[in-house]
Structure 1
Amino acid sequence: MTAVTDDTDGVDGAARVDGVRDAGEVRGAGDAEGAGAPDPADGAAEGRWDDGLIARRAEGAAARDERAVRALRPVRPPSEGPPPGGQRESLDEYDGLLPGGAYGGRLRGRLDALRELVGLSRTRLDGGTLAEAGRVLDEAAARQRLSSRHTVVAVAGASGSGKSTLFNALAGVQISETGLRRPTTSAPIACSWTDGAAGLLDRLGIPGRLRRRPAPPGFRDEALNGLVLVDLPDHDSAATAHRDQVDRVLTLVDAVIWVVDPEKYADAVLHERYLRPLAGHAEITFVVLNQVDRLPGDAADLVLDDLRRLLDEDGMALGEHGEPGATVLSLSALTGEGVGELREMLGQFVQERGAPARRLSADLDAAAARLRPVYVADGRRPPELGERARNDFTDRLAEAVGAAAVGEAAEREWRRNAGKSCGTPWLRLWRWYEAHRALGSGIDPISGRTPTEGEEEEITARQRVEQAVRTVADEAAAGLPAPWAQAVRESAVRGAAGLPEELDVLAVRAGLPRGRPPRPAWWPAAVLTQASMTLLQIFGGLWLVGQIVGVLEPRLLPPVLVMLAGILGGPLVEWACAVAARGPARRYGQDAERRLREAAAGCGRARVLDPVSAELMRYWEVREQYVAVTGLSTTGR
């Protein structure tokens, strides 16, 4: 009988040496494999992910990884050849887990982007939404620190599927207990073909008493060097603790072999709980139809074809015709039929050493798919605060603050001032009387409104401001995912707090100009001409009175003509001044309206538009990071 030794419990001298070697390699993995330990400044150095800062960028982490990759180059002997997976011009281009433990190529960039994405999103998304992304970063950091020379493969299946028998057949020795009692496997059992896997098994939570070695060295398959095989409890076990262990270990292994039998290969629990959610992990998945020795004739091929059909319905790509995807095959672990083929596939799979990177890449894809609803806008147009929305907001604020009314009032004030200076004294006397009568009745002589009407308009102005803020917020948030749309609206509401009051202050400061309006160059001449017309009226009247009382020679026509010239000339001069004042008055009113409009626009821009634009820029920033996480092009948004 073959002796089975435990490499950590120290059953014999060789086992003790292996155990010491395992522990030493775990502690010194960075030295043994070339700068494998990450920078302590990196969040991954402590097995946790950095939540990031808004202004932080990934250049620092990328530079550290760059130094780690450069440090790896002299460690690889020239005879060892290129990294697994084909010839590479540079280790920088290797998309996987490098020998020193650092992630290379596009995978490293995706991890950096996810770390940045989580940091930028912490204040906008709840912890539950980012939990899966945080778990992926944690597991990536943990796997990075451990051996890159080992591939951890779990053997999973339902009760009675023969997974423990297959586990023993691959190991070449009776390790996992088999029998009719259910459940037979109550805890994960590990079998490591080479040293240095202690850290990986610690991560899986497999105690030393459940760690085994395969067949004696002379009978081992060298192609499986680096393989760590884990036999899991039944995923359909009646014991909840067993199912929990299966779920936990499946999130940590590099690959999984699903063992199904002709009776349970279509089990809904298997497909709905495991295979369908893990469809994106097809490249690290083996689906094995066991116990084909029980099927007569061509029944095994028929069942295998039906199994492929179910996997296709689950969305799991099948690795056929050289395409990447799940490996599907049939075998009999009891008779050994097909086991050699599976062993050969596993040997090639392990020697490629790409499973950890493929697993992490699939986890990134799954995390990105879960985060898509909170980062990708499904609107017909990209969310933005366009020029039209900004102009509409400015127009609404100008309307709310009464910029047009202020311009009209300024224009009327300019004309009124012109009328006071260029009008006839009798008309000015009448206007003075009307103004005093209006003050007595409580009517504003400039605006023509009573105080009650002014209060009602103030309430209406406040409502207009609130409506303008809501409209521009909705316009900016249109098409955004719900969390970011809410953030845009909240920033607009926060900025709008106190905006009506500030606009009222602006209306006072930048509204009607203080003092008299400026006078044009022709104004003195018009005033002098109007004064001359008034003097003509007075002179003609005195001349006529002198004739009536007999002081002057009675000549009626000259004084009448003089008075008539003054009487007709006064209104004519006033009308000419009014016509000439239209242009300057209009420009004066437009300047007043423009000043108030610009002041209101500046206030609205600082309090509402700029915060909303900042939120939109933040969204596009996280959107670009999300696109980087998915590994797609950032063009086209």
Structure 2
Amino acid sequence: MTAVTDQDHTDHTNHTEHADHAGGQGHADAAGDDTGRAEERSENAASEEGTPQDGRSTAAGPDGEDVAEGPEPAAEAALEKSEGEEPEHRAAGGSKKSAAASAGKHAATGPEAPAKDRHARVQADSEGSWDDGLIARRVTEETAAQHVPTAPARPSPPQATAPLAYDGPLRSRLDALRELVGLSRTRLDSRTLAEAGRVLDEAASRRRLSGQHTVVAIAGATGSGKSQLFNTLAGVTISETGVRRPTTAAPIACSWSDGAAGLIDRLGIPGRLRRRPVQSAEAEAQLRGLVLVDLPDHDSAAVQHREQVDRVLALVDAVIWVVDPEKYADAVLHERYLRPMAGHAEVMFVVLNQIDRLPGEATEQVLDDLRRLLDEDGIALGEYGEPGATVLALSALTGDGVGELRESLGQFLAERGAPARRIAADVDAAGWRLRSVYATGQRTGLSEEDRDEFAARLAEAIGATAAGEAAERAWLRNANRACGTPWLRLWRWYQDRLDAPTGRFPARAQVDEEATARQRVEQAVRTLAERASTGLPAPWGQAVREAAVRGAQGLPEALDELAARAGLPPGRPPRPGWWPAAVFAQASMTILQVVGGLWLLGQIIGFMSPNLGVPVLLMVAGIIGGPLVEWSCRMAARGPARRYGQEAERRLREASAGCGRARVLDPVAAELLRYREVREQYGRLMGVPAAR
């Protein structure tokens, strides 16, 4: 039978060591004297040529150890002498050259060398094309009879593996997720974005590695038989099985082809836990590109075992869940793993193992119940050509149904789409986790009515309306002073001397007025912030409110300064062009009164001849005409005074609106714009248009 050696001398099962010991002892006895003479000649040749005493040149192996490359002339001479006594055991897939190299090494090592070491060297030569630090597990006659027959290994030079390529839609979604995280980094806490960041990192890491390999993990509960299924698929006992629980303590990798070193390194599996399956043309063609990983029990009593399961499950491309008839409905399995991974159904196999323990039609009944539970978990089933999880029943012990699993795995591997589908499912999961902080079913943002109302509240807070009315009164007062009768102007002058002047823009320096204005400004800001944050997810609503509060700091003082600068200019209001004519008419009426009065006074004292008609007429014209001119000027001044007041109010409203826009509206609008951008990116991420 074929013997596949193990380069790791510390990790063997007991039955393998016994078999090797028996075979190696017989070989040592058979080699006997000839190997001793070959050793002497080999040492002489080694001393002359400067090569190691075993007669072979060495090179660094995958794990940093020296690996023999080929026999030197001295070793070949020893080989020719001992060729007829070649032992029965040969390396799996060994060629004629590897057998000769094995005999040469036997001669070099001598009869005292352990049989295990000689077999390890033989296998190292025959499997020189295996890279990635993978180690072939030893197969005895007993174990080899239970698995797939071996075929000669076909050494081939290492092939460069092409990196994984994502299609356009997946790249677009990853770009959207990257933009989403970048725009949200200062608005959301790191724990909220942690999963999205992990997905981006793992997608970038997986993309740099081989796209020709698919990493599939076998996971299951204690006693489900996952390690036995792992060994059955590999065709050789790699993962230890037994009644001791837990049996598998660390992940073990088995690769069907070269070029998977980076993928296995990414899983953190050391070289001593990397294996090769039994080599056969059929298995290599069917499962080429498969990297199978046996995980510890997900329900293990050891916490570190469960942690390793969670860590590796987040990195593999697909997973085979192995359940047994007793634990297929286990709540831990469904609630902790299957239900959260419902979106990964396309890269999931669910295998009901140990069907040899079920009588009659019980297998179909258990399968139906398993499908029902998976459906309740939200896992789509790949039936009738629909994408989803593959559900199978088999017995790893008897081999019943294993062929169907191999065929399904072969088709799954041939598609080369599992890594991209896994990343797409991770992106979906990350997007659904972020839905509460991005998606909303309500309309968000500020309407024009909300902006106008905020500006009106600020204008009211600084008294824009009152300032306009005061400006109008000041204009009318100035007009009355310029166009009024002298007697009325004299009376008003006297009143002005008694009272404080009121012809200027009123200064709001009183404490109560300032407090009232501040309260109005704060109320206007709060109202705006509440309306702007309505319908937003909690983090973005909080960001909008914080932006409004920051802008409101110092806003009342800024409004007061603007009111002082944008209010009425110092001095009297400007006069229209008709004011000189009105002043001239009022002066004429005054002159008529004075002339008429003096004329009557002259007649009274006898200075002039009596004639009451003309002076009385002049006085009456002046007395009636003065108030009439004043009234006409007042009527004519209403329009300009109103426009003057409106202009003053407009300037204050524009100044207050500009201040409020710069300090409050623009920061709030910036937050709303940022949220609109992330919402659009979230729509790209989930493949749906952004909701308005």
Q: Is the 8 A contact 1:169 1:333 kept in 2?
A: yes
Residue 214 (1) aligns with residue 266 (2): no
Once the two structures are superposed, residues 176-208 of structure 1 have per-residue CA deviations (whole angstroms, 9 ceiling, x without a partner) of 111111111111111111111111111111111
Distance apart, 1:327 and its partner CA = 0.7
* Structure-2 residue corresponding to 1:101: 164
Distance apart, 1:446 and its partner CA = 5.4
Structure 2 counterpart of 1:558, one-letter code:
V
Distance change >3 Å, CA 234–CA 481, structure 1 → 2:
same
Q: Secondary structure at the match of 1:32?
A: coil
* Structure-1 residue corresponding to 2:192: 129
Q: Secondary structure at the match of 2:667?
A: helix
Residue 32 (1) aligns with residue 160 (2): yes
* Structure-2 residue corresponding to 1:527: 583
Structure 1 counterpart of 2:450, one-letter code:
A
* Structure-2 residue corresponding to 1:510: 566
Query: What is the correspondence of 1:155-234 to structure 2 with a 5 Å cutoff?
Result: 155-218=218-281, 220-234=283-297
Structure 2 counterpart of 1:511, one-letter code:
G
Residue 411 (1) aligns with residue 539 (2): no
Range that drifts further, 182-191 or 6-15? 6-15
Q: What are the ranges of 5 or more consecutive residues in structure 2 without an aligned counterpart?
A: 8-61, 68-119, 136-157
Larger Rg: 2
Distance apart, 1:260 and its partner CA = 0.5
Distance change >3 Å, CA 448–CA 339, structure 1 → 2:
closer
Distance change >3 Å, CA 121–CA 17, structure 1 → 2:
same
Q: Secondary structure at the match of 1:183?
A: coil
Residue 550 (1) aligns with residue 603 (2): no
Distance apart, 1:544 and its partner CA = 2.0
* Alignment counterpart, residue 422 of structure 1, candidates 450, 462, 483: 483
Distance change >3 Å, CA 4–CA 177, structure 1 → 2:
farther
C-alpha distance in structure 1 between counterparts of 2:625 and 2:533, whole Å: 65
Distance apart, 1:138 and its partner CA = 0.9
* Structure-1 residue corresponding to 2:331: 268
Q: Secondary structure at the match of 1:258?
A: strand
Distance change >3 Å, CA 552–CA 3, structure 1 → 2:
farther
Q: Is the 8 A contact 2:505 2:568 kept in 1?
A: no
* Structure-2 residue corresponding to 1:481: 537
Distance apart, 1:410 and its partner CA = 1.0
Q: Is the 8 A contact 1:153 1:227 kept in 2?
A: yes
Range that drifts further, 589-598 or 274-283? 589-598
C-alpha distance in structure 1 between counterparts of 2:608 and 2:323, whole Å: 138
Structure 1 counterpart of 2:303, one-letter code:
T
* Structure-1 residue corresponding to 2:117: none
Query: What is the correspondence of 1:314-463 to structure 2 with a 5 Å cutoff?
Result: 314-379=377-442, 381=443, 383-439=444-500, 454-463=510-519
C-alpha distance in structure 1 between counterparts of 2:450 and 2:597, whole Å: 66
Distance change >3 Å, CA 614–CA 191, structure 1 → 2:
same
Distance apart, 1:535 and its partner CA = 1.1
* Structure-1 residue corresponding to 2:366: 303
Distance change >3 Å, CA 284–CA 600, structure 1 → 2:
same
Once the two structures are superposed, residues 254-279 of structure 1 have per-residue CA deviations (whole angstroms, 9 ceiling, x without a partner) of 00000011111110000000000000
Structure 2 counterpart of 1:622, one-letter code:
V
* Alignment counterpart, residue 208 of structure 2, candidates 141, 145, 167: 145
Which protein, 1 or 2, shows the higher relative CO under an 8 Å CA cutoff with sep ≥ 6?
1
* Structure-1 residue corresponding to 2:302: 239
C-alpha distance in structure 1 between counterparts of 2:328 and 2:678, whole Å: 42
C-alpha distance in structure 1 between counterparts of 2:405 and 2:675, whole Å: 48
Once the two structures are superposed, residues 486-515 of structure 1 have per-residue CA deviations (whole angstroms, 9 ceiling, x without a partner) of 111222222222221111111111111333
Q: Is the 8 A contact 2:132 2:258 kept in 1?
A: no
* Structure-2 residue corresponding to 1:560: 616
Distance apart, 1:22 and its partner CA = 8.0
The size of the alignment, in residue pairs, is 559
Distance apart, 1:152 and its partner CA = 0.5
C-alpha distance in structure 2 between counterparts of 1:256 and 1:6, whole Å: 27
Distance apart, 1:385 and its partner CA = 2.0
Q: Is the 8 A contact 2:356 2:395 kept in 1?
A: yes
Q: Secondary structure at the match of 1:595?
A: helix
Distance change >3 Å, CA 364–CA 6, structure 1 → 2:
farther
Q: Secondary structure at the match of 2:547?
A: helix
Structure 1 counterpart of 2:213, one-letter code:
H
Q: Secondary structure at the match of 2:434?
A: helix
C-alpha distance in structure 1 between counterparts of 2:132 and 2:325, whole Å: 44
Distance change >3 Å, CA 448–CA 243, structure 1 → 2:
closer
Distance change >3 Å, CA 6–CA 135, structure 1 → 2:
farther
C-alpha distance in structure 2 between counterparts of 1:319 and 1:426, whole Å: 106
Distance change >3 Å, CA 570–CA 219, structure 1 → 2:
closer
* Structure-1 residue corresponding to 2:147: none
Once the two structures are superposed, residues 398-436 of structure 1 have per-residue CA deviations (whole angstroms, 9 ceiling, x without a partner) of 111211111111111111111011001111122222223
Q: Is the 8 A contact 1:255 1:355 kept in 2?
A: yes
C-alpha distance in structure 2 between counterparts of 1:182 and 1:388, whole Å: 70
C-alpha distance in structure 2 between counterparts of 1:579 and 1:445, whole Å: 19
* Alignment counterpart, residue 19 of structure 1, candidates 124, 127, 131: 131
C-alpha distance in structure 2 between counterparts of 1:116 and 1:572, whole Å: 77
Q: Is the 8 A contact 2:352 2:392 kept in 1?
A: yes
Distance apart, 1:3 and its partner CA = 3.6
Residue 630 (1) aligns with residue 691 (2): no
C-alpha distance in structure 2 between counterparts of 1:633 and 1:448, whole Å: 55
* Alignment counterpart, residue 528 of structure 2, candidates 472, 496, 500: 472
Structure 1 counterpart of 2:431, one-letter code:
A
Query: What is the correspondence of 1:594-609 to structure 2 with a 5 Å cutoff?
Result: 594-609=650-665
Q: Is the 8 A contact 1:6 1:208 kept in 2?
A: no
* Structure-1 residue corresponding to 2:91: none
Once the two structures are superposed, residues 496-537 of structure 1 have per-residue CA deviations (whole angstroms, 9 ceiling, x without a partner) of 222211111111111113333222222111111111111112
Structure 2 counterpart of 1:390, one-letter code:
R
C-alpha distance in structure 2 between counterparts of 1:377 and 1:511, whole Å: 45
Distance change >3 Å, CA 3–CA 469, structure 1 → 2:
farther
Range that drifts further, 12-21 or 243-252? 12-21
Q: Is the 8 A contact 2:163 2:209 kept in 1?
A: no
Structure 2 counterpart of 1:384, one-letter code:
G
Structure 2 counterpart of 1:362, one-letter code:
A
Q: Is the 8 A contact 1:536 1:566 kept in 2?
A: yes
Once the two structures are superposed, residues 286-333 of structure 1 have per-residue CA deviations (whole angstroms, 9 ceiling, x without a partner) of 011111111111111111111111111111111111111111111111
Q: Is the 8 A contact 1:6 1:211 kept in 2?
A: no
Q: Is the 8 A contact 2:164 2:212 kept in 1?
A: no
Q: Give the share of equivalent positions with the same residue, in percent.
A: 71
C-alpha distance in structure 2 between counterparts of 1:192 and 1:547, whole Å: 139
Distance apart, 1:231 and its partner CA = 0.6
CA RMSD, Structure 1 to Structure 2 (Å): 2.2
Q: What are the ranges of 5 or more consecutive residues in structure 1 without an aligned counterpart?
A: 24-29, 34-98
Distance apart, 1:548 and its partner CA = 2.2
Q: Secondary structure at the match of 1:550?
A: coil
Once the two structures are superposed, residues 321-368 of structure 1 have per-residue CA deviations (whole angstroms, 9 ceiling, x without a partner) of 111111111111111111100110001101111010000000000000
Structure 2 counterpart of 1:32, one-letter code:
A
C-alpha distance in structure 1 between counterparts of 2:413 and 2:3, whole Å: 26
Distance change >3 Å, CA 470–CA 617, structure 1 → 2:
same
Q: Is the 8 A contact 1:414 1:517 kept in 2?
A: yes
* Structure-2 residue corresponding to 1:499: 555
Range that drifts further, 281-290 or 115-124? 115-124
Distance change >3 Å, CA 425–CA 14, structure 1 → 2:
farther
Q: Is the 8 A contact 1:118 1:130 kept in 2?
A: yes
C-alpha distance in structure 1 between counterparts of 2:129 and 2:332, whole Å: 43
Distance change >3 Å, CA 6–CA 495, structure 1 → 2:
farther
Distance apart, 1:631 and its partner CA = 2.5
Once the two structures are superposed, residues 581-615 of structure 1 have per-residue CA deviations (whole angstroms, 9 ceiling, x without a partner) of 11111111111111111111112112211221111
